[in-house]
Amino acid sequence: MSQFNIAVIPGDGIGTEVIPEGIKALQAAAAQQGIELNFTHFDWSCETYHKTGRMMPEDGLEQLSRFDAIFLGAVGFPGVPDHISLWGLLLPIRRAFNQYVNLRPVRLFEGLQSPLANKKPGDIDFYVVRENVEGEYSNIGGIQYEGTEDEVVSQQSIFTRKGTDRILKYAFDLAQSRDKKHLSSATKSNGLFHSMPYWDGRVEAMAEQYPEVKVDQFHIDIFTANLVRMPEFYDVIVGSNLFGDILSDLGPACTGTIAIAPSANINPEKTFPSMFEPVHGSAPDIAGQNIANPIGTVWAAAMMMQHLGCNAMHDTIMTAIETVIRDQTALTRDMSGNASTQELGQAIVDAIQAS
Ligand code: NAD
Ligand code: IPM
Ligand code: MN
């Protein structure tokens, strides 16, 4: 019998509401397939910060390193500045465990209405492959002449050859494996003098090794416009940490709600645990109301099982999500329904058990 040890960090806000629904779906699917999942909960959050001055204990990363995977809700809540909470928990995990691929699938499901006119299931079906550990996300820089009229703040971006090539290789391999074999790279090489022309050059160099993959590059400004105007054009999108972040909220918004979108923070070499979470955040505006949509979290749970080699569990959970949305069994408000978080979570469990 396969057995996996999963570290669970519900985190802040609706993270604590959606994670239990993800666990219920995992348990239902695992029971069906004879897989044993052991969950260990960590209450690390902004509350921990208020109590201890840290988002996680000093040996937090060491504790997490022993698990097969990490399942996370959301980090950040009013009362702690976002850069403190995120650089105290989520971002160190991505970086310490070399989760350099952030894979974010975007799909329009049957039963959901795209806000874009005349889009049907199949028209929106692509992956955002986001560089996840370097680029614009850096704590290098600082403030000079603080408190004077000459105050200057600098914020450095870092693009290494190794870091750029490995994310591009992952994206090219993914594109190569898909029917359309189409890769679109998002940059801004007209405005950013060093990093983005460098990225474009690495794309061109790698494209030579993938003659079957059709490659294009757009500056991020027109990229966002094109994504809204013709989402069916896209297949695999690759971008830097910041551009990938932006495109992976825009993409799911075009499928009806950002709340269904999953995020897999992957260490492809499996030298460290990978981490699975919804794309969305802690949603302080709806926290505590039992109306958060748990589907992004449940889809992330499915991706976790796929990463752990349990493809049948992944497929069972995905079919349950598709069924519940298609049949409109229990949809939360963001999907124009009136079900609670728990009702939707239970509908997914029921669909798993009926399969
Ligand atoms: P957010 O994703 O938390 O919320 C944006 C909007 O989407 C809100 O109106 C919210 O109600 C809605 N929404 C989000 N998830 C939903 C769900 N599951 N069901 C229904 N509606 C949902 O983004 P934000 O407001 O920019 O950020 C809030 C906090 O979360 C900040 O502290 C931010 O730093 C943090 N954050 C964390 C993560 C993460 O942990 N991965 C991701 C994004 C934001
Ligand atoms: C995400 C989030 C994070 C990111 C923030 C909270 C640091 O927006 O996972 O998309 O930008 O990576
Ligand atoms: Mn984001």
Q: Is residue 155 domain-shared with residue 235, that is, in the same domain? A: yes
Q: Which residues surround ligand 3, an ion (CB under 5 A)?
A: 245
Ligand 1 atom with the smallest distance to the CA of 296 is 18
Ligand 2: residues within 6 Å at CB? Answer: 76, 86, 90, 245, 263, 279, 281
pLDDT tens, position by position, 279-310: 999 999 999 999 999 999 999 999 999 999 99
Going from the Cα of 145 to the center of ligand 1, the distance in angstroms, rounded, reads 35
284 Cα nearest atom in ligand 1: 28
Cα(272)–Cα(132) distance, integer angstroms? 15
Report the nearest-CA residue for atom 6 of ligand 2.
Answer: 86
Q: Do the domain assignments include residue 109?
A: no
Q: What is the ipTM of this complex?
A: 0.99
For the chain, the domain total comes to 2
Segment 182-202 shows an average pLDDT of 98
Picking from 253, 276, 303, the residue at the C-terminal end of a domain is: 253
In a domain, 108, yes or no: no
Would you say how long the chain is, in residues?
355
**132 contacts 163 by C-beta, under 8 angstroms:** no
Tell whether 64 and 93 lie within a shared domain.
yes
Q: How many Å lie between the centroid of ligand 3 and the Cα of residue 248?
A: 7
What does pLDDT average to over the chain?
98
Contact call for residues 177 and 238 (beta carbons, < 8 A) = no
Nearest ligand atom owner, CA of 285: 1
Q: Which domain holds residue 301?
A: 1-100+267-355
- CB contact at 8 A, 131 and 100: yes
Which helix or strand (DSSP H or E) is residue 342 part of?
helix 341-354
Tens of pLDDT, residue by residue over 202-226, are: 999 999 999 999 999 999 999 999 9
170, pLDDT greater than 80 = yes
Q: How many CB atoms lie within 10 A of CB 1?
A: 6
Query: What residue owns the CA closest to ligand 2's atom 1?
Result: 279
CATH number at residue 169: 3.40.718.10
CA angle 108, 112, 114 (to 5 degrees): 65
224 lies in some domain: yes
246 CB neighbour count, 10 Å cutoff: 16
Alpha-carbon distance of 38 to 281, in angstroms, equals 25
Do 293 and 211 reside in the same domain of the chain?
Answer: no
Report yes or no on 260 lying in a domain: no
Q: Which residue has the tokens 């870091």?
A: 163
What crossing angle do the helices spanning 295-307 and 341-354 adopt, rounded to 10°?
Answer: 40
Is this model's pTM higher than 0.95 or not?
A: yes
Spatial neighbors of 203 by CB under 8 A, at least 6 apart, are 168, 185, 215, 217, 238
- The residue ranges of DSSP E strands in the chain, in sequence order, are 3-11, 36-41, 69-74, 101-107, 125-131, 141-144, 152-155, 182-187, 214-219, 236-239, 262-266, 274-278
